[in-house]
């Protein structure tokens, strides 16, 4: 049974079995490899994407659950010429390490900052509790999110 949804702004149809994990559909059917397959249990956050603006772990969501939804992957963030605001601030704050967890981190922070444009440090930490990074101590990542929030609140833009 075809499953219709919007993927990074384009209408798509998946022909995968309905219970196929979304991360597998993204990687194997649509060749979007930004969402990483690490734990397959929803603990690490490396496969985080946004579904209707909310961060979800794509390894746990069956593709049937995104029928009619808007799915955004890391590939939808920024462009070849310009990084997204979240990506840019992570880079400026020297928060990027090996890159395995960062697609998920970017997607979690992007979803969080859209709904919480002026977060506190504890709120940022809570928003990232589903994303594991073994390279950093998270302080630069949290600092980048707070710096972005501060900069956008001064300019009136949205992260």
The DSSP bridge pattern shows strands 70-72 and 3-7 to be parallel
Of all residues in the chain, the percent with pLDDT exceeding 90 is 77
Distance between CA atoms of residues 26 and 115, nearest Å? 25
pLDDT in tens, 77-130: 998 899 999 999 989 988 887 888 899 999 999 999 999 989 999 999 999 999
Can you identify the CATH homologous superfamily of domain 85-156?
Answer: [2Fe-2S]-binding domain (1.10.150.120)
Residue with the bigger pLDDT between 120 and 1: it is: 120
For residue 62, give the DSSP letter. Answer: B
pLDDT computed for residue 45 by the predictor? 95
The owner of tokens 């079995």 is: 17
pLDDT computed for residue 153 by the predictor? 66
- CATH code assigned to 3-76: 3.10.20.30
Distance between CA atoms of residues 134 and 88, nearest Å? 21
Helix (H) or strand (E) holding 72: strand 70-72
Task: Give domain limits for the chain.
Answer: 3-76, 85-156
pLDDT computed for residue 76 by the predictor? 97
pLDDT computed for residue 157 by the predictor? 60
Is the pTM of the predicted complex or chain greater than 0.95? no
């Amino acid at each position: 049974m075809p499953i219709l949804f919007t993927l990074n702004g384009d209408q798509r149809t998946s022909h995968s079995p309905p219970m196929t994990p979304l991360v597998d559909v993204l990687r194997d059917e649509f060749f979007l490899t930004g969402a990483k397959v690490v734990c397959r249990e929803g603990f690490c956050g490396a496969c985080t994407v946004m579904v209707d603006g909310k961060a979800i772990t794509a390894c746990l969501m069956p593709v049937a659950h995104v029928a009619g939804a808007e799915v955004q992957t890391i590939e939808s963030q920024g462009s070849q010429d310009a990084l997204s605001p979240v990506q840019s601030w992570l880079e400026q704050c020297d928060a990027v390490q090996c890159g395995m967890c960062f697609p998920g981190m970017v997607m979690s922070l992007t979803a969080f900052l859209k709904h919480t444009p002026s977060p506190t440090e504890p709120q940022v930490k809570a928003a990232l509790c589903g994303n594991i990074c073994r390279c950093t101590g998270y302080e630069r990542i949290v600092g980048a999110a707070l710096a972005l929030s501060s900069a956008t609140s001064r300019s009136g833009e949205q992260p």
